[in-house]
Structure 1
Amino acid sequence: MRSSQILALILILAASAFGQGMTNGIMSPPANVRPPGLKNVGMRQNLNQPIPADLTFTDDLGRTVRLGDYFGKKPIILNLVYFTCPMLCGEVLSGLENSLRMMKFEVGKEFDVITVSFDPHDTPEAAAKKKSEFLRRYKRPGAELGWHFLVGHQDAIDSLTKAAGFDYQYDPKTRQFAHTTAILILTPEGRIAQYYYGIEYPPKDLRLGLVEAGAGQIGNVVDALLLYCYHYDPEQGKYSATILRVLRLAGVATMLFIGTLIFVMIRRGPSHDAPGAGRTT
C-alpha cells in the first residue's frame, strides 16, 4: 500500500474516532489538540437550529431543488457523505440503511431521508448510482420518493455543513476528505432535533427520535409511553431510561391492577365464594 493511501486511511479512521468521542462523550476535542490533518474536523451540536431552507442543490434526477422543498411534511434524517469516499461514507450509509430496514416506519411514508454530498465535484449521475445501490438493499416500495440524494456547489455545501455543525477537511495529497460520522434528525420544519454518531444507529432510538421530532405526527400509544420513560441524551447521542418516570409508570400500573382486582371481587359478591350456600335440603 502506498504511503499516501496509508495516510488517508489513518486520517479517515482518526476523524471517525474523534466524531464518536474517544474523550468525554461524542464531542470533538479542541482544535489545538487534534492531529495536524484533523485541525478542522469535528462535529458541533447546533440543536434546535434551522437548516437553511433556501439552499439549492441538484438531485439524483438532475433537477434543481431547494432544501425547503422537503420541509413541512414529516421528520427527516439528514446525513452528509461524499459519493467517491473509499470507506467511511459507505459504512455510514450501510449502517443507516440497515437500521431503516429493521424499522416498521418506512422511508417516504412516516419520514424522509436526505443524503447530501459535501464534495462539489460529485455529479447527479454519482448521486443516482448511489441511490440505486441503497434502494436495492432497502427493498421498500415507494422509498425512491422519500430518500433524496443531492449534490451541490461549494457555497451551498458550506452553508449546509456550517448549519449542521459538520466540520471536515480536504487533503490535497490523498485527494480525499477527512471527516467525522453522524446523522441528524430534523423536525418537519427543518430544525435540528438530534444527532446520532458513529456508523451504527439503534433502530429503537431512531424510531423514538423520529416520533419526538415529529411532535405527534407519527407513532402510536406505545411510542408515547416509551418517550415518557426514555430521554434523549445529546452528550451520548442516544436514549436512556429515566428511572423516576419508569418507577412512576410502574406504580400507576400496579394501582390499576389492584383496583381492577378489588372491583372484580366486589362484583362477584359473597355468594360466589361458597358454592351451594343458600340451598335447603
Structure 2
Amino acid sequence: MFRINVLRLGFVVLAAVLLSGIVFASDVKENKKNDAGIDDTKLGNTLSGEYKLTDEKGNTVKLADVVDKTTILMFVYYQCPGLCSPLMTEVASAISRVDMFPGKDYKIVSVSIDPAEDYKIAADKQKQFTQAANIEFPEGSWRFMTADSVTIAKLTDEAGFYYTVIGEKQISHPGLLIFLSPERKITRYLLGTRILPFDLKMALIEASEGKIGPTIAKVLKFCFSYDPQGKTYMLNVTRISGVIIIALSIVLVVVLVTKKNKKNLNEGV
C-alpha cells in the first residue's frame, strides 16, 4: 500500500511540474515578429558585421568596426517620448556604480530604430547623455548610430528585437539591453528600465568571456508583461499566482499522503 501511494504521489508531482513548465513555456516562446518584444532563442547567435550604419558624425561604418569589444547594444529612437530616455539614463547611472570602465572594458552602442532620424539628432543625444552621466566617456565609448529602414529591419530581426510602429511618430518597443561578446555573439538580454549594477557587471563579464546567460531575461519575461500604452513592464499576477497555486497543491498532496502513510503504519503496528 505504501509503495502504491508513493507512486501516486510521484505521478501527481510530475503532472504538476509539467503543468508549470507549460505555463512557463507559453511565455518564453518565440515572439511573433509583428509584436513588440524579444526572441531570446537568438541567444548565442552572432550578428553579421556587414551592417552599414551612420555614426554621430555622419560617417558610414560597419557594425564590425563599431562592435570591436564587449558591447551593450540598445535599440532606441532618439525622439522617443517614453522608454528610451529613462533606459539610457538608467544605463549611465548603473555603469557609474560598476568598477568597469567604458572604452576600456566595454562600449555602448545605441542604434535608432527610426529611419527618419539622422546623425545630427544622434550627435545631440550623445552629447546630452554622456555629459549628464556621473562617469567619463572617452571618445568612441558610447556610440549613437542611425540607419536606413532595411538595415534596421534586418539587424533588429537578427538580434531578436521586435517593435511595432504606432501612427506616424511613435514606436512600441521593449526596454532592452543586448550584451554582445567582442565577436558580436549575443550573450544576454536584460529587460526593463531598472538595472542593478550587479546584473550589469555580471552580464559584461559573461559577455567578455562569450558565456551565454538567459536567466534574467526569462525570469523577467515570465514575471512581467510589457504594456505598450504605458511603456512599462507590469507584474503579471496571473502567471505568478498560477505557479504559487501549483506549488501549494504539491505541498498539500505531499502532506496528506505522508499523514495517511504514517497512520497506516501505526495501525499496522
Q: Work out whether the TM-score is over 0.5.
A: yes
1:144-159 alignment, distance < 5 Å: 144-159=139-154
Q: Secondary structure at the match of 1:90?
A: helix
**C-alpha distance in 2, partners of 1:119/1:30?**
21
Please name the residue that 2:73 is paired with. 78
The yes-or-no answer on 1:51 pairing with 2:47 is: yes
Q: Secondary structure at the match of 1:235?
A: helix
Letter in structure 1 aligned against 2:140: L
1:1-281 alignment, distance < 5 Å: 24=24, 27=28, 39-45=34-40, 46-72=42-68, 74-172=69-167, 175-215=169-209, 233=215, 234-236=217-219
Letter in structure 2 aligned against 1:175: K
Letter in structure 1 aligned against 2:55: D
**C-alpha distance in 1, partners of 2:180/2:67?**
9
**C-alpha distance in 2, partners of 1:127/1:105?**
25
**C-alpha distance in 1, partners of 2:109/2:220?**
20
Identity of matched residues, %: 28
Q: Greater Rg, structure 1 or structure 2?
A: 1
Instruction: Provide, for residues 168-214 of structure 1, a one-character-per-residue CA deviation record: whole Å limited to 9, x for no partner.
Output: 11122x52111111111100100100000010111111111111111
In structure 2, relative to structure 1, the CA distance for the partners of 1:50 and 1:30 (3 Å cut) is closer
Q: Secondary structure at the match of 1:77?
A: strand
In structure 2, relative to structure 1, the CA distance for the partners of 1:212 and 1:29 (3 Å cut) is closer
Contact (CA 8 Å) 1:106, 1:143: kept in 2 or not? no
In structure 2, relative to structure 1, the CA distance for the partners of 1:91 and 1:24 (3 Å cut) is farther
In structure 2, relative to structure 1, the CA distance for the partners of 1:110 and 1:155 (3 Å cut) is same
Q: Secondary structure at the match of 2:108?
A: strand
Instruction: Provide, for residues 66-115 of structure 1, a one-character-per-residue CA deviation record: whole Å limited to 9, x for no partner.
Output: 1100234x210000000111121111111111111111211111001000
**C-alpha distance in 1, partners of 2:188/2:137?**
26
Listed as ranges, the gaps of 5+ residues in structure 1 are 1-22, 32-37, 217-226, 239-281
Contact (CA 8 Å) 1:114, 1:148: kept in 2 or not? yes
Instruction: Provide, for residues 120-141 of structure 1, a one-character-per-residue CA deviation record: whole Å limited to 9, x for no partner.
Output: 0011011011111111122433
**C-alpha distance in 1, partners of 2:71/2:31?**
30
Contact (CA 8 Å) 2:130, 2:137: kept in 1 or not? no
Letter in structure 1 aligned against 2:62: R
Q: Secondary structure at the match of 1:114?
A: strand
Contact (CA 8 Å) 1:195, 1:237: kept in 2 or not? no
Report the aligned-residue RMSD.
Answer: 2.5
**C-alpha distance in 2, partners of 1:52/1:189?**
10
Q: Secondary structure at the match of 1:196?
A: strand
**C-alpha distance in 1, partners of 2:38/2:31?**
11
In structure 2, relative to structure 1, the CA distance for the partners of 1:69 and 1:209 (3 Å cut) is same
Listed as ranges, the gaps of 5+ residues in structure 2 are 1-22, 222-269
In structure 2, relative to structure 1, the CA distance for the partners of 1:29 and 1:111 (3 Å cut) is closer
Tell me the TM-score normalized by structure 2. 0.66
Q: Secondary structure at the match of 1:133?
A: helix
After the TM superposition, list the runs of 4 or more consecutive aligned residues in structure 1 that deviate by more than 6 angstroms: none
**C-alpha distance in 1, partners of 2:75/2:175?**
8
In structure 2, relative to structure 1, the CA distance for the partners of 1:161 and 1:215 (3 Å cut) is same
Shift of 1:143: 2.9
Instruction: Provide, for residues 206-254 of structure 1, a one-character-per-residue CA deviation record: whole Å limited to 9, x for no partner.
Output: 11111111129xxxxxxxxxx9xxx76152269xxxxxxxxxxxxxxxx
Contact (CA 8 Å) 2:44, 2:185: kept in 1 or not? yes
